[in-house]
Amino acid sequence: MALAKTMERNGKKTPSQRVSEIVDKTQGSQAWNSIFRPGSVFRKGYTDSPRNRSYVVMNSVLYHLHPVKVKRHAVKVSYTLCLGGLSFFLFILLTITGIFLMFFYRPTAAQAWNDIYTLQTSVTFGLLVRNMHRWAAHLMVLTVFLHMARVFYHGAYKPPREFNWVIGVILLTLTLLLSFTGYLLPWDQLSLWAVTVGTNMMGYTPVFGDQVRFVLLGGKEIGTDTLLRWYVLHVLFVPFVTVIFLAIHFWRVRKDGGISGPL
Amino acid sequence: MTEIPEHLKKRAEEARAKAAAAAAGGDAPVESAAPAADAPAAAAASDSRIPAHLLERSKSAKSRSETSAVEAAAVAPTGGGVATALATAAPAATLTGPAGHTQRLLTVVKAGSIQDIKSVPVDKVHTWPHLLAVEFVASLAMLTFVLIFSIFVNAPLLELANVNQTPNPSKAPWYFLGLQELLTMFHPMVAGVTIPGMGIFLLILSPYIDRNPSNKPEDRKFAISLFTVQMMMWAILVIIGSFFRGPGFNFVAPWTTGLFFEL
C-alpha cells in the first residue's frame, strides 16, 4: 500500500525502495531459500534442537546418503572403523587430485613420461598432488579390502544384506581395476613392466586369451594405443561404473535397515 | 454416565430375545455335545497353544460349575484348543455365566499369529551431529595423513618406459604379487585366471553358501577361521612376492640384498 502510494506520488521509485525490492526478490528466490534453508549452518539463529538436527540432514543433499536418525551403535567408531566411509572419501580425494593431474598429462607414449616429469619439476604443487594421488590410491585398495574383512567378521553379508555384499565384491574388483589401469599411465619402466606381467597373466584366459589381451592392449604389444585405452578406462569408464555401483551400494545400506546390528 | 443410544438398546434387546429363543430350542444339541467335547479337550491339553494360566482358569471354572451343578452349563473348548467358549447354555434371564462371569472368552490369539510385528524399537541418535561429526573427523584425519605422507615420500618415477629393456625382476603392482607368486607354483592359466576367478566367485557366493543366520563370532567359528586362513595365506603370498623375491624372481633376504620393491 505504502509502495503504491509513493509510486502514485512520484511516478518513480526511490533508490531505497529499489534496494528493498531487490532484497525481497533475492530472499524470496529458490536459490536463496535452498542455501539458507532451515537446518543450514548459514542460516541465522541455528539452535541445537531435535527439529534443527533433523533439518540438517533432511533439507540437504545428505539425505541421499544418510537417514535423519541412525542406530546408536552405528556411530561407534570401534564397530566400523570408518573403513567404508574412508574408502569413499579416498575415492573423492582421488577424483579431485586426478582432475588436477589431467590438466598436465597427455596419454601418448611420446609425451606421457615427460608430462609427469614436468609436472613434478615445474608445476606448483604438482609433485605433492601426484604423490597424494598415488598414496591415496594404494590406501584405497587397502581400506576397501579391510572394509570387506570387517563386514565378513561381523557377519554383515548375511540376509538381508547378501545383495549388498555382491555389490561390494564388484566394487572391490573395480577398485583393483582403477588402481591397475592408473599404474600404466606414468609410462616409466615400473608401470610398463608391471602391466606387462599383469596382462600376460590375463592372456592365459581359456579359449579367448589372445583376444582378451588384444582388447586390453589395443594391439599385440603394449604401446601408445594401450596408453590411450587405459587412460580412458582409468579416468572415465571405470570411475563411471564405480559411481553407479557406489550409489547402489549406499542405497542398499539404507534399504537393508542401516548397517548391521550389534553383535 | 453415558447414555446408550436408542437404536443400540433396541438392537441388543432383539439379540437377547433371539438368543433366549435359540437356547430354549437348542438345549439338546448343547447337552449332547458337552460330554463328547471333554475327550478332545483332554487330548488337546497336551499340545495346546493356550497359555497355561488361561487353561488353569478355564479348568477351575469348569470344576466350579460342575460342583455347583448349574443345570447343563457346559464349558465347550472347540477348535483343537485354539478357541474357548464359555457358553451359558441356560436360558437364564440373567446374562451372567456359571461363576457369575459377565464376559465370555471367545478366543485366545497368540502374539504374532495374525499380525507379525517386525520392527523392534531401536535406540537411535540423530545423524547430525553424532554420525556426521565422526565422519568429518575421520576424513580430516585421513586427509592429514595422506597430505603429510605425500610431503615426505615421493611417488616413484623411474626412467622412461623401454620395451627392449626388461628390468630384473619385473613385478606386478603389490596387490597382484600374490598372483605372481602363485605363478611360480602353477601353470599361468591356473595362477592368473582360475584361482583369482574362483576366489572372486566364491567371495560373491559366500552369503549364499554360509546359511548360518547368526552373526555372533562364537556361532561361526568355521566361517571365521576359513576366512582368516584365506586372508593370511593371501597376505603371506603378497609379502613374499613383495619383499622376498629378487632378480629372476628368486628368493632373497631383504636384509642382505636390499628391497626389490616399488609401490
Which of B31, B62, B87 corresponds to the end of one domain? Answer: B87
Write the pLDDT tens digit of every residue in A59-72. Answer: 888 899 999 999 99
The verdict on B82 and B135 lying in the same domain is: no
> Residue B64 above 90 pLDDT?
no
Tell me how far apart the alpha carbons of residues A52 and A58 are, in angstroms, rounded to a whole number.
9
Is residue A226 situated within a structural domain? yes
Residues B144 and B199 both lie in one domain: no
Of B108, B133, B155, the domain-final residue: B155
Is the distance from CB of A68 to CB of A54 less than 8 angstroms?
yes
Q: Which domain holds residue A247?
A: 83-255
Statement: residue A5 has pLDDT above 70: no
A238, part of any domain: yes
Residues of A in contact with B124 (CB under 8 A): 69-72
**CB contact (8 A) between residue A197 and residue B176:** yes
Q: What pLDDT score was predicted for residue B32?
A: 43
Domain-embedded: residue A222: yes
Selection from A34-38, A174-178, A206-210, B195-199 with the highest mean pLDDT: A174-178
**B145 and B175 together in one domain:** no
C-alpha to C-alpha distance for A2 and A94, rounded to whole angstroms: 57
In a domain, A194, yes or no: yes
The pLDDT confidence band at residue B74, using thresholds 50, 70 and 90, is very low
For residue A69, the SS3 value is strand
Average pLDDT over residues A201-206: 84
Contact criterion met (CB < 8 Å) for B138 and A75: no
Q: Is B21 on the interface with A (CB under 8 A)?
A: no
Question: Is B227 near chain A, with CB under 8 Å?
Answer: yes
Look at residue B81 in the predicted model and tell me its pLDDT: 41
Here the ipTM equals 0.89
Based on the fold, state whether residues B59 and B16 are members of the same structural domain: yes
Distance of CA B47 to the CA centre of its chain: 27
Whether the bond between B169 and the residue before it is cis, its omega within 30 degrees of 0, is yes
Tally A–B CB contacts below 8 A: 215
Residue A9 domain flag? no
Q: Residue B149: name the closest of A114, A136, A262 by CA.
A: A136
Residue-wise pLDDT tens digits, A15-49: 999 999 999 999 889 888 888 887 787 777 778 88
In a domain, A209, yes or no: yes
Q: Of B65, B87, B109, which residue is a domain's last?
A: B87
Name the domain count of chain A.
Answer: 1
User: For residue B242, what are the domain limits?
Assistant: 162-257
pLDDT band, very low/low/confident/very high, at B83 (cuts 50, 70, 90): very low
CATH number of the domain at A180, please.
1.20.810.10
Joined together, the cell numbers standing for residue B146 give: 595422506
A-chain CB neighbours of B220 within 8 Å are 155
Mean pLDDT of all residues in B239-249: 91
Q: Is 70 exceeded by the pLDDT of residue B108?
A: yes
Same domain? For B230 and B248 the reply is: yes
